[in-house]
Structures are given as structure tokens and as C-alpha cells.
Amino acid sequence: MGPFCMKKFSLISHVLPPDWSGQSIVLGRIFKDIDPASYVLISSRQSDCKNKNTENELSGKYYYLKSFFPMSSRSQYHGFRKFLLPLELLSRTIQIIKIVRQEECICIVACSGDLLDIPSAYFAGLITNCKVIPYYFDDFVFQWSNPIAQYCAKIIEKLVFKRTSQVIVPNEFMKETIDQRQQVNSTIVRNPTLPVSVAIKPIKSDLIRKKQIVFTGSIYHINLTAFQTLVAAMDKLKDKNVEIKLYTAQSVDLLRNKRITGDNIKINNYAPSTEITQEQQQADILFIPFSFDSNVSEVIRTSSPGKLADYLSSGVPILAFVPSNSYVAWFLKKHQCGFVIENNDPVELANGIVELLTNDQLRKKIVLNAFSIASDEFTCRNSTMNFLGEISKTLEIS
């Protein structure tokens, strides 16, 4: 498949390929077959070269904005930083204006994830007469635990949607939320998986080999208490020969301080994408957790984890330990492509793990359905075409 080519647009995101984070991986997959001459990538944060995801390296031109904030604490808008926010917003806006004019971009796609990226894009678009399209990986208003940041995000969102009716979202729950809140018709661009080529493996039913529950991704406030419940559930599975394998950027010491520790919990640091894929495919259960008592419950309700598509295409059954009103619970139950536990109860979680490990018929049904939906809806081509379809409302495809 050759690259898609179109007039030039810019994309702004706090993380960009080849960074290891979920958002940058999704962007790398979507942009893989877009002509690199048709876009520029803009970020206020340099990519983490130590932990880069080589599958996601792109050939397009990168711009990194100068910032008032130290690199180590960019995301923490507290203390004296709140006084620098207006200066940071002004600085970013001026830099984006220069880039957009220099590159002759006629559209700016602004991703969520940083409080200032979308407003900077808005003001730059206002001055350059560029169309701005928000790209919500998470709900831009509610992803901030700080009430002042939430209030600012609400004002920003109202301003942005006075100039545009376009917005990109990752799933149906986010679409319904934003469409109702801003009276728009948003476009779904799913977080894609790599080309589905793995064969469905025979169910592993031997009793000697240690069974593995695998999680790949960040462990933080949005899923921390769910992991603590999983640790408690492991105490009830001591005779079941089960272990947890975590691949995460968080350190062993940090997780130990958060009570994510135990004899049957193996914590691994960042690994290359090929190794992560292999670990996912060799697991017995792939775990998706969300906290049940989070102060960002609206974000959890509409969240679509970047890893979901890879889990679906892995050939391994998914266990989702998530609130009942979440998109993940709805999606997995609707398509019968995952096993969902919706109560924060270690006994129920332990019983669910045993059921998923021992019920071969259930495992096979989940895997087959997951593989089918990944092949149909979560391909890179579909996501790229949907993304470019939204861009083409502003740009003429050449």
C-alpha cells in the first residue's frame, strides 16, 4: 500500500513517534502510510530516545517548541508554574504561527494530553486563518484532576468549537459525549493495531506450566487501585500456579511503595515493541484495569486504551477489570470479545481469573471474536483513511 498524499497539515501532540507512550504509538501507526511531505509534527516535548518504539519512526519533519517548563515536570501545573502558564501559552502560540506559515500548512490537528496544546493551536489558527481540528485521545475537559485546570479546559473547549464543528475521537462513548456537549458530529478514528497476521493458537491447558497474566502499559492513578485489588486476588490463587507479568515505565520501587508487589508479580521495564508483542501473544490472560474510585471517572468512562487493539489481535483472551459504565466494558460485552468483571472485589476477580484459565470453550469464543473485530475495525488502513477523511473536509486531496 503506497503512501496517502495530500496538501500539508500540522499535528500537535505532547508525545510523538517514536516515543513509547500509547498516544505516540497510535499516531505512528496512523501516519505510517501518509506521505511525509504532507505533514509536519509539532511537540513541546522531545521524544524519549532511550525508550523509543522503532516500529513508529516517521519520516516527516519534526518541530520541538521551546518551553518555560522543566522537562522533568512539564505535566505538573502547580505552584509557581501557574504563573508561567500565560507566558507558555503565548510562547507556544507564536512558535506554532511561525511553523504553520513557514510550512504553508492550511490545517492544524491538535491532540489532547497537554493543557496548552489545543488552546495554542486555536490562537495560532485564529491568527493564520488555519482550520483547527481537535483530536481527543481522552476527554480534554475531564482528564485533569486539578479543578482549576478543568475549569480552564471548559473555557478553552467552548472557544475552540465556536470556530470548528470538526473533532476526532477514538470511540463511540467519546463521540456521544462530545457531540452532545458541543453540538457537533465527531469522527471516530480507532486506535489501530498492527496488521493482523497471528494465527489463533491452541488453548494452553497444561497444569504444570505457570499461567501468566500480562499487562503492558503505564500504572498510575487511573488504574492503580485496580492493580492493588489484583494483588489481593493473587493471595487467593496461591495454589493455581499463576503469576503477573507487568511491562511498565514505572519503577519497581515506585510500584512497591504503591503496594504492587509480591512473590508472583514480575515487574519489567520498558521493552521494544517486538518483545512486547511476543509477550502479549505468549500470555494466558491480557489484563485491562481501570480504578473504580478514581477522581477522573468521566475519563475512565470514555477511555479507549491504546493497547486494546493489540490485545484483541493477540490470540489471547482479555480480562477487563473495569467499571460497568465504561466504554471498555460495553465494547467487550457487546462483541463478546473479552471477559469483564465490573465489581472491585478481589474474590470475584480471583474467581474470574480461574474461570478464564480453565474454561476452554469460553477462551476460544473470546479469542475468535476478538480476532474478528480487530481484523474488521482496528486496522491501520481503516484508521488512516478515517483520519484523512476528516482532514480532507478542510484540505483538497491532491
**Euclidean distance between CA atoms 19 and 69, whole angstroms:** 19
pTM here is 0.91
Strand-pair partners of 211 = 242
- What CATH code would you report for 211-377? 3.40.50.2000
| CB count in 10 Å sphere of residue 68 | 15
Architecture of the domain delimited by 9-192+379-391 = 3-Layer(aba) Sandwich (3.40)
**pLDDT for the residue numbered 398:** 40
The three state secondary structure string of 198-215 is: CCCCCCCCCCCCCEEEEE
Mean pLDDT, each 10-residue run in order, the chain (398 residues) = 71 93 93 95 78 73 85 48 82 97 96 96 96 97 91 96 95 98 97 71 58 93 94 92 92 91 88 84 96 92 95 96 98 98 97 95 96 95 96 69
pLDDT at 39: 97
Cis omega before residue 272 (within 30°)? no
Question: DSSP character for 113?
Answer: S
Give residue 1's pLDDT: 53
Closest to 216 measured CA to CA, from 258, 262, 267: 267
Beta strand 131-135 with 107-111 is: parallel
C-alpha distance from residue 21 to each of 151, 248, 312, 342 (Å):
27, 10, 19, 27
Q: Which amino acid is at 285?
A: I
Fold matches, 9-192+379-391 and 211-377: yes
pLDDT at 77: 47
CB burial string 238-265: b at 16+ within 10 A, e below: eebebbbbbbbebeeeebeebebeeebb
Do 192 and 383 contact (CB within 8 A), yes or no?
Answer: yes
Paired sense of beta strands 339-341 and 318-321, if any: parallel
Residue 17's nearest CA partner among 39, 50, 38, 47 is 47
Displacement of CA 397 from its chain's centroid (Å): 28
Residue ranges of domains in the chain? 9-192+379-391, 211-377
Measured N-to-C along each axis, helices 346-358 and 224-234 cross at an angle, to the nearest 10 degrees, of 70
Alpha helices in the chain (DSSP H): 22-31, 81-103, 117-128, 147-163, 172-182, 224-234, 252-257, 273-282, 297-302, 308-312, 327-335, 346-358, 360-377, 380-391
CA-nearest of 358, 353, 339, 347 to 229 is 347
Residue linked to cell 488512516: 384
Q: How far apart are CA 331 and CA 172, in angstroms?
A: 9
